[in-house]
Amino acid sequence: MAPRTVASLVTCVVLGTYIPARAGVVAEETTVIDFLQMITMDTRAITSVQGHKARLDLTVRMTEGPASPVHDESTHTEIHRLDRGVVYHVFEPARQFRERKLRSPVTATDSSPQIAAIASGLQCQWTTAVVAKTNLGREMVGRATAAHVRIDASHRCVPFAPTGSSCTLAITYHQWSTRSNELHAQLARYRRIYAAKTGTATGIAEAFLVFSQFGVPVDPVLLESIRTAVVKEGQALKSNAILRASRSCFTQAGGAGDAANATSTQPAQSYPAFMLQYVGAMMLSAWVAERDAQSEDGSDDQVETLGIIATELKSIRAQKLPASQFEVPAGFTKAL
């Protein structure tokens, strides 16, 4: 056996996983999003990665309300060809596909303008975020032993004028982690490269993308605080993130509608993206009205749940992947 082959084999054994030569990585993940306790999105994603090529097979189920039957179910496939600089969106039922250049502008989803609009409307100033990390021991996730940590991060806006009001944004984040192996590293490496080429988010920021797309503010200061807190925790097998806010963030001047407008004025804003934020603003107003009706003490500064995101890496394995898996199927036509 050649010395280079021996060295590669030893490296894989030390990392805990042997990956056959030229094998790809296949990961199965689930994400459940409770959006404003009005809509639940349950996503199952199978991600296949081979070098600079990837394929995502997604099944999304949506329900309205906690006890509703399945309202809508859809499947979607994305084929990423970083070597060609394109992403193909494949629609099986219609036998069509769309092509997007990796350098095409993407819709802005940074919530910073919304956060600034809230402070301006309430006449308050954001203080330094408060972050607390708690180690909760080791637990079983599937067949693996994982370290469980909890991060409580909050960001408070304090009035600077007599007529000002206060409000709080917060995220409570649980993560179950294990030691990363070469399979995890290969998947993470591809996602970082893809995010860099497309200008999209990774990690916890990617998980909250749905909220940002609907115009519900996700404080980047809190996201960065959590990312920093868990950066050395290893590979996340499971996470649970609770996005929270006080109603006062949205009930005074600069509330839900104005915050959505702050997002809609960002560059690269498409009509579909604007409609998502318009719908999100209406849902956010309904969330505030419902909490107002349920409030016993009349206080609008109590922190309450906006939504929950639960993710889990169900499985990851090395697998030889055929080249055809990263091509648009024969007979499919390009959608106009």
pTM reported for the whole predicted model: 0.82
Report the share of the chain in percent with pLDDT over 90.
49
For position 35, what pLDDT does the model report? 87
- pLDDT digits 0-9 by tens, 199-256: 776 677 777 878 888 888 899 999 999 999 998 898 899 999 999 999 889 875 444 4
| CA angle, 243 then 283 then 104, to 5° | 75
Distances (CA, A) of 321 to 26, 47, 317, 331: 9, 12, 12, 21
Contact of 151 with 132, CB cutoff 8 Å: yes
The DSSP output letter for 255 is: -
Q: Does the structure show a pLDDT above 50 at 17?
A: no
Which has the closest alpha carbon to 35: 307, 287, 305?
307
pLDDT in tens, 58-70: 999 988 865 566 6
